[in-house]
């Protein structure tokens, strides 16, 4: 099977980095402006800089992908609409999105604008792809943790294109599933403000920096990724230097085109930025200690290395082919017609041709150095006339200038405001109490709660006994991580349905259709990152009956949310901080998912770590103290369900917490946090 040549997609966190990327040979760039991009601390672009940047790229045949890949609050929706309008007015080539409300903006207001699903949407299963297509997405940026075979399966699942990170920083957590920065310091990674606490010296046994991975580099695997169906090779690094960007683009371009990468360039690429070197562990399924590393003084690039990389982007990269046709007729102005690869055509005229017959040297027309254009040998229609070389050069310069103007000024994408109005949410009865448990000791919750979610992968006998004893109170919760587990998950869903279970909590859009196909009703969990009314409306249309709201919302924001779908909030639990496919607890111990697995920060605090059998070999890092707002339930209006999440609690603790919840009274003899319900997240 023959696949189209994948693009090299480069970061553009500033105008300087954009120039480096384009001149080094990138086929596309991604950039952000305003509030809604996942690197709000990057230089980014003002509106004027953005307009110039898009024109600069389009003139040179480079696509521009506009970032709106953070979560949006209801109070910010109008600002998001205006930013979407700006992207359309600039005729950007696509918009990269995390939030369903932003997808809804483009679906309703600008259906002709292509939208790409951000890696923050945690797309990592084949079943997610047909749903993305249904929602109007033309491309998905896949999770970084996938193996080559998993990428191949996803790429073949639908007509939605796949984009894969091939070089740059590795987050310890799966993108879109990290709450550590927000929980420990109110700076949300889902809002583009991550403070990177994971790069601090956490310890697993005697192993330091157990939450810090080496940078990824899959440059040597681009041919394999192309055969797997990947259409875009993405480079991370909008916060890095232009020289880094130029080196990464050059290496990727050479590798993609089947050319050897000079050893000197490889050394410079590692020298300009890395964390103890690079890793390809996820792609090759070689997990473990070899993937971990942190930045030291030895990794810092010196000035001579930085200067040596300037040559990679000192001049224009010629990538736009043009055809030329010169016509010379006696007593008639000579004309030059130029046509580019997009069908744009210009025609310019010069002096009246003389009748002195001579051969015309085409070389002045083909001297396009210093521009992005590559001239094919021109067609010359000569009726026995001659023309001066200087005149040909003038014709060429004028024609290419006019062509550049056309390429810079594309027609805008149509944008018409058509957003759906959202009605206030009304609750007709008292909120229910739902418990999410992790072991059999906590099943005592079923005596007191309206619904109890058992792990989907629970032992057959335990699940059977629970359903037999408590009937429709028993539901199941699917894991957040589903890497390579789709067939196993489908089996477990069918088993749950056969036992009489009705509801399944999910944390990923890739499970909506499998859950419904198994005959179960999907309920959204916190992993869906729902922060606004329009997202609630979208998930209601997709078949969710209940949606747990983001744990990064404030009480005030929660109370203001509209839409009809039932919604819930977590009011107790050791909240998850990370979802990772490379278990940090295993680095320093022979962890077998023992109850006391943990990692330790520099202050000696111990963070519990748990793995799930059906979680795609993923582990979760939990907060050291639980969230509790069980004595403040009256603060929440228009909430249908309160969630209690039990992880490390025994049966006595579980029962006591449930009773406190029922009485709306504070926990006794227990340290806890109010989370972000009153502080909020940036």
Q: In this predicted structure, what is the pLDDT of residue 239?
A: 87
Amino acid 295: pLDDT: 86
* 8 A C-beta contact, residue 324 and residue 259: no
374 vs 368: CA distance, rounded Å: 6
At 613 the pLDDT is: 73
CA distances (Å), origin 27, targets 216, 240, 632: 21, 19, 53
Mean pLDDT confidence for 173-185: 92
Q: Is the pLDDT of residue 504 over 50?
A: yes
Taking CA atoms, 214 is separated from 167, 217, 296, 425, in Å, by 11, 9, 12, 46
- Given a cut of 90, is residue 276 above it in pLDDT? no
Global model pTM greater than 0.85: yes
**pLDDT of the residue at 296:** 84
576: nearest Cα among 608, 621, 526:
621
**Contact call for residues 14 and 44 (beta carbons, < 8 A):** yes
Asked whether the beta carbons of 574 and 623 are under 8 A apart, the reply is yes
Please check whether residue 66 is in contact with residue 31, taking contact to mean a CB–CB distance below 8 angstroms. Answer: yes
Residues near 556 by beta carbon (within 8 Å), at least 6 away in sequence: none
The alpha helices in 484-584, defined as continuous H runs, are 486-498, 512-517, 533-541, 555-559
pLDDT(586) > 90: no
State the burial class of residue 682 (Cβ atoms within 10 Å of its Cβ: 0-12, 13-18, 19+): middle
Residue where the block lists tokens 């990824």: 216
CB atoms within 10 A of CB 659: 12
Inter-residue contact 195 to 180 (CB < 8 Å): no
Integer Cα distance of 544 and 522 in angstroms: 5
Q: State pLDDT tens for residues 414-457.
A: 999 888 899 999 998 899 999 999 999 999 999 999 999 999 99
β-partners of residue 567 are 547
CB 658 within 8 A of CB 445: yes
646: tokens are 């039990």
Tokens of residue 21, six digits:
């990327």
- The sheet with strand 207-208 has its strands ordered as 207-208, 203-204, 598-600, 606-611, 619-622, 576-580
pLDDT at 356: 62
The mean-pLDDT minimum among 128-137, 284-293, 580-589, 601-610 falls in 580-589
CA distance 17 to 243: 8
- Interatomic CA distance for residues 553 and 48, integer angstroms: 33
Give the C-alpha separation, 171 to 282, whole Å.
12
Domains and CATH numbers, the chain: 7-170+213-313 (3.20.20.380), 320-408 (no CATH), 432-573+628-663 (3.20.20.70)
Q: How far is CA 111 from CA 88, 104, 105, 136, 156, in A?
A: 10, 10, 9, 8, 25
Which residues lie below 8 Å from residue 264, measured CB to CB, with a gap of 6+? none
Q: What is the mean pLDDT of residues 516-522?
A: 98
Mean residue pLDDT of the chain comes to 93
How high is the pLDDT of residue 1?
38
User: How many other CB atoms sit within 10 Å of the CB of residue 379?
Assistant: 12
Which distant-in-sequence residues (6+ apart) come within 8 Å of 317 by Cβ?
22, 23, 24, 25, 60, 372
| CA 521-473-438 angle, 5° bins | 90
Q: Give the burial class of 367: count Cβ atoms within 10 A of its Cβ; 0-12 exposed, 13-18 middle, 19 or more buried.
A: middle
Helix locations, 202-356, DSSP H? 222-227, 242-256, 263-272, 281-284, 303-308
Q: For residue range 193-202, what is the model confidence (pLDDT) as tens digits?
A: 888 999 999 9
Q: What is the pLDDT of residues 353-403, one digit of tens each?
A: 666 666 788 999 999 999 999 999 999 998 888 888 999 999 999 999 999
Contact by Cβ (8 Å): 620, 477? no
CB 597 within 8 Å of CB 539 = no
Backbone angles phi, psi at 536, to 5 degrees: -60, -40
Average pLDDT value for residue range 35-46: 71
Quote the percentage of the chain above a pLDDT of 90: 81
Q: Kindly report the number of other CB atoms within 10 A of residue 645's CB atom.
A: 26
* Confidence band of 508 (pLDDT split at 50, 70, 90): very high
The helix/strand/coil state of 597 is coil
């Amino acid at each position: 099977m023959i696949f189209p040549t994948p693009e090299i997609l480069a970061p553009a966190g500033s105008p300087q980095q954009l120039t480096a990327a384009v001149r080094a040979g990138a086929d596309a760039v991604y950039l952000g402006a305003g509030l809604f991009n996942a690197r709000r601390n990057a230089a980014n672009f003002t509106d004027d800089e953005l307009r110039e940047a898009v024109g600069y790229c389009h003139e040179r045949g480079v696509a521009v992908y506009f970032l709106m890949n953070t979560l949006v609050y209801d109070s910010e929706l109008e600002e998001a609409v205006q930013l979407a309008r700006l992207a359309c007015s600039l005729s950007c080539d696509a918009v990269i999105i995390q939030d369903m409300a932003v997808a809804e903006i483009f679906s309703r207001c600008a259906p002709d604008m292509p939208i790409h699903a951000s890696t923050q949407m945690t797309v990592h299963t084949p079943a997610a792809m047909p749903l993305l297509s249904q929602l109007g997405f033309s491309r998905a940026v896949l999770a970084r943790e996938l193996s080559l075979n998993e990428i191949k399966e996803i790429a073949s699942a639908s007509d939605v294109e796949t984009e894969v990170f091939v070089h740059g920083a590795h987050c310890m957590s799966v993108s879109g599933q990290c709450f550590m920065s927000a929980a420990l310091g109110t700076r949300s990674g889902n809002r583009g403000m991550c403070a990177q606490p994971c790069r601090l010296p956490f310890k697993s046994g005697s192993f330091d920096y157990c939450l810090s991975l080496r940078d990824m580099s899959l440059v040597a695997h681009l041919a394999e990724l192309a055969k797997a169906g990947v259409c875009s090779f993405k480079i991370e690094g909008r916060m890095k230097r232009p020289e880094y960007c130029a080196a990464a683009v050059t290496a990727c371009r050479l590798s993609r085109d089947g050319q050897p990468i000079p050893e000197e360039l490889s050394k410079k690429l590692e020298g300009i930025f890395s964390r103890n070197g690079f890793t390809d562990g996820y792609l090759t399924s070689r997990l473990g200690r070899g993937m971990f590393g942190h930045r030291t003084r030895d990794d810092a690039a010196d000035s001579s290395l930085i200067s040596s990389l300037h040559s990679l982007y000192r001049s224009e990269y010629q990538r736009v082919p043009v055809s030329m046709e010169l016509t010379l007729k006696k007593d008639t102005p000579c004309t030059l017609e130029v046509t580019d690869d997009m069908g744009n055509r210009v025609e310019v005229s010069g002096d009246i041709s003389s009748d002195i017959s001579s051969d015309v040297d085409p070389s002045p027309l083909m001297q396009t150095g210093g521009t992005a254009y590559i001239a094919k040998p021109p067609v010359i229609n000569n009726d026995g006339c001659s023309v001066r070389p200087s005149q040909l050069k003038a014709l060429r310069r004028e024609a290419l200038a006019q062509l550049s103007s056309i390429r810079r000024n594309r027609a805008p994408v149509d944008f018409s405001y058509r957003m759906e109005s959202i009605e206030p949410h009304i609750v007709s009865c008292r909120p229910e109490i739902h418990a999410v448990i992790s072991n059999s000791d906590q099943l005592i919750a079923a005596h007191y709660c309206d619904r109890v979610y058992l792990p989907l992968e629970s032992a057959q006998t335990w699940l059977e006994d629970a359903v037999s004893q408590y009937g429709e109170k028993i539901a199941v919760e699917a894991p957040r991580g589903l890497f390579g587990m789709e067939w196993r998950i489908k089996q477990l869903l069918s088993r749950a349905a056969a036992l009489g279970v009705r509801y399944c909590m999910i944390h990923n859009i890739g499970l909506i259709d499998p859950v419904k196909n198994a005959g179960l009703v999907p309920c959204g969990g916190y992993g869906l990152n729902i922060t606004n009314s329009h997202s609630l409306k979208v998930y209601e249309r997709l078949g969710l009956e209940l949606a747990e709201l983001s744990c990064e919302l404030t009480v005030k924001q929660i109370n203001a949310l509209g839409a009809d779908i039932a919604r819930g909030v977590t009011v107790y639990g050791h909240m998850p901080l990370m979802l990772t496919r490379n278990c940090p607890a295993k680095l320093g111990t022979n962890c077998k998912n023992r109850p006391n697995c943990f990692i330790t920060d520099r202050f000696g605090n111990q963070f519990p770590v748990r793995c799930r059998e059906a979680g795609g070999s993923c582990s979760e890092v939990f907060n050291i103290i639980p969230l509790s707002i069980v004595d403040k339930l009256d603060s929440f209006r228009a909430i249908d369900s309160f969630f209690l999440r039990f992880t490390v609690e025994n049966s006595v603790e579980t029962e006591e917490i449930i009773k406190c919840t029922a009485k709306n009274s504070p926990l006794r003899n227990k340290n806890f946090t109010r989370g972000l319900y009153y502080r909020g997240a940036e």
